[in-house]
Structure 1
Amino acid sequence: MSLTLQQLISRLSFRQMQVFRAVYQQQGYGKGAESLGLTQPAVSSQIKKLESALGQPLFEYVGRKLYCTRAGERVAEHIDAIFEQVASLQSDLHRLEGKLSGELNLCAVSSAQYAVPHVLRGFLQQYPSVNVNLNIVNRTQAIERLNDNKEDLVIMGLVPNDRSLSSLPFLDNELIPVVPVHHPLATKTHIHPQQFLDAQLLSRESGSGNRLALEQHCQQQRLSLNVTMQFGSNDALKHAVLAGLGVAVLPRLSVLSELRLGQLVSPVIKGFPLRRSWCLVSPQGKHATPVTQAFLEYIQTNLKEIHQYFQSLDVV
């Protein structure tokens, strides 16, 4: 029996929709219950009530695997839209009170993880009711998430130029040569770039922003890039240099402590540091939420202070 709109509204609840969303996102009743702090029978009960109200099965088991039905997929789309509207309502009401609230969903490439928390600190001091979700990924994953429009903003260095994107540079990313303190190059004053690159060069994996920047530099300067070992993160690369496995080019911010402690040395080499910028990136034309807009305005207003802060962290 089809229900009138009024009857349907009277039988639906936000709790049912919240439970459905958890089961849908976690792809299971047990994990959905765990994410909400509920028992599995309580979750099953809420789903049954929702299915009864809508007159459609939303999930089904094939073997032991839970699948969402076609009706369930449509329900998921509409529930996402409803929750977005509720979040927008909350944000609007807070703005009437002179406050700003809501979520800021960011994705940052791994080299930016040393900078982003410092930038967020000032923003959250100004807007304490904002909740930030920050995902740290590699460059390939960042581009995928940018294509899928999964975050409000993506923070990366080398911005793809083969698509329509909005980009706001906000901080220099200096890539510097580093060697272990007891390495023969640590005390040399005149080092040819190729001599450094031939000294057991360790590098990030192919496709990473840092690797691309180094490859572009070598191509421009007609230098030979001879990578002896590659690593999936800057931390792993840094510790490989500390262990004496070779030399590397790393973001300055990622090795500040080791430089201060004298565990690593950054020799003077012509052409270095490589200077890039971290940028706030989003698809062109993407609608900015009030929180996203406030974050962009905060960055633009405080660019000078942000640069000064990071300069104060640098090694003298």
Structure 2
Amino acid sequence: MPYSLSQLLNRLSFRQLQVFRTVYQRHSYSRAAEELGLTQPAVSAQIRQLEQALGQPVFEYVGKQLYVTAAGEQLMLVVRSIFTDLERLQMELDELQGQVRGELRLAAVSTAQYVVPYLLEGFLKEYPQVSVRLRVVNRAQATERLQENRDDLIIMGMVPDSRSLSSMPFLDNEMVAVVRADDPLRYQQSLTPQPFLDSGLLIREPGSGTRLALEDWCARKRLSLNPKMELGSNAAIKHGVLAGLGVAVLPKLSVSAELRLRELAVLQLDGFPLRRSWCTVYPSSKHPTPVMQAFLDYVRSNLNSLHTRIYGDIPDP
């Protein structure tokens, strides 16, 4: 039988909740013990005490696989909120002392991973006491993480159409038509987009932001899109072009090294580059932490210099 609220307050501890959160995140008692510097029996004992207080199991084993119960999922929603509020409190106390210190949790879609280091370089110089946790995800995962409020900010291109999200565009995402340097298409006169698209197009999986942008542009221009091959990442597509498998439309920044080395070339086609904006995105109902607000302010105040820093040394076609 579960305890009353007053009994829960007497029996629960932040240590138990911390242990629970770590087991939940690591999907393992042993990995949680290693991260927390505890023995596995100590982790098991903390979870048992937590389950006794709740009157329900939060984890269960099926075979050798650890699963989270329905009660565990509900508890995680509360635990995530508690620890987020504690982190915000710590940051706000630091801010009262004139310091910006704490963790910035970022998630970036794969096309934006090339941009984030440029953002962080100057920001961390200005705020050296901030630590950053960055996850690279696909667009579907980014949308899911937004819904679950798992990060401070998401950096993505095609923002879901929702009034419940706050977004700030900060940089053009230039998507260019890319071929291998020795591709005969480079020397065709008056090449138009459709023959290029019909020349063995390598493309991302359905739902990818890069693919959605290309599909949207083709629909507006009434061009047909018949991909030769689907690949799961921009890096795989880039190497496919290098290997001679076909052509592609890729973020310019993702092929910058190959353009400098003249291993790849950008075709000058009508309508290209396609332009979308990278944006910082978070739920509108979210109250920014001091660290999160400092990052947003930094990006906003450096909009004019970002394009030059990021694209300035990439050769033109």
- State the partner residue of 1:222: 222
* Distance (Å, rounded) in 2 between the aligned partners of 1:32 and 1:225: 47
Displacement of 1:11 in angstroms is: 6.2
Which residue in 2 is equivalent to 1:280?
A: 280
**Equivalent residue runs for 1:139-288 within 5 Å:** 139-288=139-288
In 1, Cα distance between equivalents of 2:172 and 2:310: 9
Q: CA deviation at 1:149?
A: 2.2
* Percent of aligned pairs sharing the same letter: 54
Q: In 2 relative to 1, CA 199–36 (structure 1 residues): closer, same or farther, beyond 3 Å?
A: same
Supply the distance in 1 between the matched residues of 2:113 and 2:199 (Cα, whole angstroms): 28
Structure 1, gaps ≥5 residues long: none
Counterpart position of 1:16:
16
CA displacement at 1:43 relative to structure 2: 1.6
Larger Rg: 1
CA contact (8 A) 2:253 2:311 kept: no
CA distance in 2, matches of 1:219, 1:210: 14
Moved more, 222-231 or 22-31: 22-31
Deviations 1:99-142 (A, max 9, x none): 11222222211111111111111111111222222221111222
Q: Secondary structure at the match of 1:249?
A: strand
Q: Which residue identity does 2:45 align to in structure 1?
A: S
Q: Which whole-Å deviations, capped at 9, do the CAs of 1:177-215 have from their partners, x for residues lacking one?
A: 111111111233421111211111111112211111111
TM-score, with length taken from structure 2: 0.88
- The one-letter amino acid of 2:186's match is A
Going from structure 1 to structure 2, the CA distance change for 1:191 and 1:142 (only over 3 Å counts) comes to: same
Question: Deviation at 1:70?
Answer: 7.0
Mean Cα deviation higher: 293-302 or 213-222: 213-222
> How big is each residue's C-alpha offset from its partner over 1:126-184, in whole Å with a ceiling of 9 and x where there is no partner?
11222222221111222222222222222111122255322110011000011111111
Corresponding residue for residue 108 of structure 2:
108
- Structure 2, unaligned runs of 5 or more: none
Find out whether 1:98 has 2:86 as its counterpart.
Answer: no
Going from structure 1 to structure 2, the CA distance change for 1:79 and 1:180 (only over 3 Å counts) comes to: closer
Q: Structure 1-normalised TM-score?
A: 0.88
